[in-house]
Amino acid sequence: MEDHLVARYQELMKESSRMPLFDLRKLNASLPVPSVPKSSIEVLVMGANDDFIVVISMSS
């Protein structure tokens, strides 16, 4: 990828990374999630060895 494209995407990601995708406190309040009924729909969940969630406090 060309350097100017990398720089452009880095700027776009810098702005969007400040926005939380979901509130982990609200998520934690709804855990554990009950099992879903057996279905004919197949689901593939993928991850990586070093996956992690970054929690940033939004309080001022």
User: Tens digit of pLDDT for each residue in 2-49?
Assistant: 889 888 888 888 777 776 666 777 778 888 888 878 877 888 888 888
Residue 37 CB-half CA count within 13 A: 2
Inform me whether the pLDDT recorded for 60 exceeds 60.
no
Token pair for residue 58? 């939004």
Q: Both tokens of residue 10?
A: 């880095």
C-beta separation of 53 from 24 below 8 A? yes
- What's the CA gap between 25 and 32, in Å, rounded? 13
Per domain, the residue ranges of the chain are 22-60
Give the model's pLDDT for residue 54. Answer: 73
pLDDT at residue 36, rounded to an integer = 75
| Sign of CA pseudo-dihedral 35, 52, 26, 23 | negative
pLDDT at 16: 72
Name the amino acid, one letter, at 33: V
Name the pLDDT band for 59 (thresholds 50, 70, 90): low
